[in-house]
Structure 1
C-alpha cells in the first residue's frame, strides 16, 4: 500500500472530520431516512432518495478518510534536526519564503498533503507544480517553475521547519 505524506495538522483535521461524520452526520442522515420512510410510498419519495444519496456520500467519505489515515506517513518537520548546520533543504512540511525574481514580491508557502492544501492560507499540496519545483532546493537557489500561466522564476529566501 502506498503511503500518503501528511503533516500532523493534516492528520488531526482528518481525524476530526471522521469523528464528526460518524457521530453527527451519520446519525442525522439515519434520522432523515427514518422520517422519509414514515411518509409512506418510497418509490415516489424525493426526501427518501435525497437522504439515501447523502448517506452514500457520507459513507464514501468515511471510507476515504479511514483509508488515508491507515496509509498516512505523518511527517513532523519540527522534530527534524539540521545535522550539518548548513542551509535547510525544502522538504515535505517545510515552510518556504520566496521572492519572485521579476516582481520582487515575497510569498511564503508551506508544503502539505493534498487534504490540507488551501491556497488562500498559502498551504500548497506537494503535488502542485510549485511544490515539485521547490522540493530539494535550499536558500539562495533560483528556480524556474512551469505553471499553467507560464514560467515563474523564484529565489528561495528562507527555508524553515516550523
Structure 2
C-alpha cells in the first residue's frame, strides 16, 4: 500500500471511526446475532443472515481502517517550512479568471476529500495543478468544460 498522506484531522476521523466500530458497532452486532440465533432455525432466518452480513462488513472496515492508519503519513502543514508554497494540507484561496469568483480549497487525502466541505483530494486535477505554486501564480486546470485558469490569491496553513 505504501504511505498515504493524511491531515491531522483526517487521521483523527479515521481513529474515531475505528474506535466506534470496535467499541460500539462490534458489540451491538454480536448482540443482534445472539438475538437472531435465539429465534431458532438459522437456515431460514433472514434476521440472522443480515446480522452476519453486517458483522462481515464491520470486521472488513476495521481491517481497512487499521491498514490505512498503519501506513498513514500524518502531515501537519502548520509545522512545515515551505515559504508560502502550496503543499499537501494547505488551504488555498483561488480566483477563477473567467468569472472572478473566488473559492477556497484545502488539499487533503483521498479518504478526507469532500467537495461540499471544499476539501479536494491530492489526486484531483485541481490539487495537482496547485501543488508547488505560490500566491500570485496562475494555474491551469483541465475541467470537463475545457481548460480553466485560476489565480492563487492566498495560501494558508491551518
Same fold (TM over 0.5): yes
Q: Deviations over 1:8-59 (max 9, x none)?
A: 1000111011000000000000111111111111111100110011011111
Give the aligned length: 158
Match of 2:68 in 1: 68
Change in CA separation of 1:24 and 1:80 when aligned onto 2, cut-off 3 Å: same
> Residue in 1 aligned with 2:109?
113
Deviation track 1:69-91 (CA, whole Å, cap 9, x = no partner) reads: 00010000111235xxx5x1111
Establish whether residue 133 from structure 1 lines up as the match of residue 99 from structure 2: no
**Equivalent runs, 1:52-63 vs 2, <5 Å:** 52-63=52-63
**1:16 & 1:111 partners in 2: Cα distance?**
21
How high is the TM-score relative to the length of structure 1? 0.93
* Counterpart residue number, 1:153: 149
CA–CA separation in structure 1 for the residues paired with 2:131 and 2:124 = 11
In structure 2, what is the Cα distance between the partners aligned to 1:130 and 1:55? Answer: 38
Deviation at 1:136, TM superposition (A): 1.1
- Cα shift readout 1:94-116 (whole Å, capped 9, x = no counterpart): 01000000010000000011111
Q: Which runs of at least 4 in structure 1 moved beyond 4 Å after TM superposition? A: none
Gaps of 5+ in 2: none
The one of 127, 138, 141 aligned to 1:142 = 138
Aligned to 1:116, the other structure's residue is in SS state: coil
Alignment of 1:18-29 (within 5 A): 18-29=18-29
Q: TM-score, normalised by structure 2?
A: 0.96
